[in-house]
Structure 1
Amino acid sequence: MTIQDRRNRDRLSQRQLITSTARALAGREGWDAVTTRRLAAEIEYSQPVIYKHFSSLDDIADAVALDGFGELAAALAEARRAAAPGDDVRAVAHRYAAFASDAPAVYDAMFSRSTRLRFGPGSPTTPSAAFAELRAAVAPHAGEADAETLTEVLWAGLHGLVVLLRSGRLRPGHDTARIDLLVGRLLP
């Protein structure tokens, strides 16, 4: 291994440490607790080390979001592949909601915080991969409807349910029924 290879490996390791620490801190205390001073103290590096890797806290949150989109894409793919025939959309929809519930700080970085990440044509492949997994489940059931639009509506409906539930605006204990109703009405 060359010195440059080791330096690159160390740089990547530091970047990952910063990202994972920010994610853990946001998970425990919320995104307002994530500051460069706090991160530096948590990882036992100076603030300039953080700024060597990220130009701002928004860049750190975007890195957490990109990791989250990769994890969401993998979770949705697994749910789609494991689903019984004809139950793939329902399985993916439930896995989407479970992801949001299991990793609320990551979900916030992905969808609630201001971001410079772009979606749609020309966006980074990771966010697009998560949407592609939703679309892969929806497309076989779209019939004459535009699969892309149908996927966007499913995504919007799931996101709305997740946000309303997390904010305490929906009755607890009816999550499964709501998702089943959404999927059943959208893709009868």
Structure 2
Amino acid sequence: MSVISERRARERAHRHQLIITAARELAEAEGWEAVTTRRLAERVEYSQPVLYSHFNGKDAIVSAVAVDGFGELAAHLSRARQAAPEPGGALRAVCRAYLAFATERPALYQAMFMLPTDLKFASAETPPPLRAAFDALADCFPPDDERRELFAEVVWSALHGMAVLSDSGRIPPEGQEERLDILIAGIAGAE
């Protein structure tokens, strides 16, 4: 690759990330309804056709934000897992980290789990950051347990339910630890 081609590739990658970052910041400040290609073009100081040269519309931008979010979630869960190496403590630490992530980054969490995307889970086309986030949860279970991924799916589903119901005010936040106790006891009892 020539020096000019390399520079253009770097500039394109920079613009791509600039659009993703701007979308996320706008969503965090004003909600996903405020994220339009026109607003993004103004924010990143490029024309709408430049945005469309990177993304096929808002859903593609949301997908890109979600992939970035899964990378962050994977790192967040892995740090929690490493800080609590004993099996029971690791699951609790990862569950707490997951719920904290959802609470602290509501717009990002919406992009990852609630807005339309073309992201595939549990398939050959699953992007590596999605798989890494799931693996961080699955790693809380014994590697030789053939049901470890099923346990991880059940825990993830329960955590997602808790995050969404808590965020919407449908369940009170003060019961969070007791919910985690029930979830962990139920899963530990099934092992």
TM-score with structure 1 length normalisation?
0.93
1:185 deviates by: 2.1
Residues 148-170 of structure 1: CA distance to partner in whole angstroms, max 9, x if unpaired? Answer: 11111101000000000001100
The one-letter code matched in structure 1 to 2:20 is T
* 1:37 alignment partner, SS class: helix
Corresponding residue number in structure 2 for 1:59 = 60
Structure 1 residues 139-150: aligned runs within 5 Å:
139=142, 146-150=147-151
Match of 2:104 among 102, 105, 114: 102
CA distance in 2 between counterparts of 1:45 and 1:120 reads 36
Distance in 1 between residues matched to 2:163 and 2:10, nearest whole Å: 37
Cα distance change, pair 84–129 in 1 and its aligned pair in 2 (3 A) = closer
- 1:127 pairs with 126, 130, 144, which one? 130
Aligned to 2:172: 171
2:39 matches 1:38: yes
Q: Which residue number in structure 1 is paired with residue 20 of structure 2?
A: 19
Which 5+ residue runs of structure 1 have no aligned equivalent? none
**What amino acid is aligned across from residue 104 of structure 1 in structure 2?**
P
Segments ≥4 residues shifted beyond 6 Å: none
Equivalent residue, structure 2, for 1:10: 11
| Structure 1 residue 130: Cα displacement | 0.7
Please say which of residues 157-166 and 131-140 is displaced more in the overlay: 131-140
Tell me, in whole angstroms, the C-alpha distance in 2 between the residues paired with 1:180 and 1:43.
45
Query: In angstroms, what is the RMSD of aligned CA positions?
Result: 1.6
Partner of 1:137: 140
How far did 1:184 drift? Answer: 2.1
Distance 1:111 1:102 in 2: 15
Give distance in 2, aligned partners of 1:68 and 1:53: 19
Letter in 1 for 2:6: D
* Offset of residue 84 of structure 1: 4.5
Deviations 1:92-150 (A, max 9, x none): 0000111111111111111101111100021122111111111001236x96x711111
Matched residue type, 2:108? V
The aligned amino acid for 1:187 is A
What is the aligned-residue identity percentage? 47
**Counterparts of 1:130 and 1:42 in 2: how far apart (Å)?**
30
Distance 1:37 1:89 in 2: 43
Give the counterpart of 2:94 among 89, 92, 98: 92
- Secondary structure at the counterpart of residue 173 of structure 1: helix
1:153 aligns with 2:154: yes
- Unpaired segments of 5 or more residues in structure 2? none
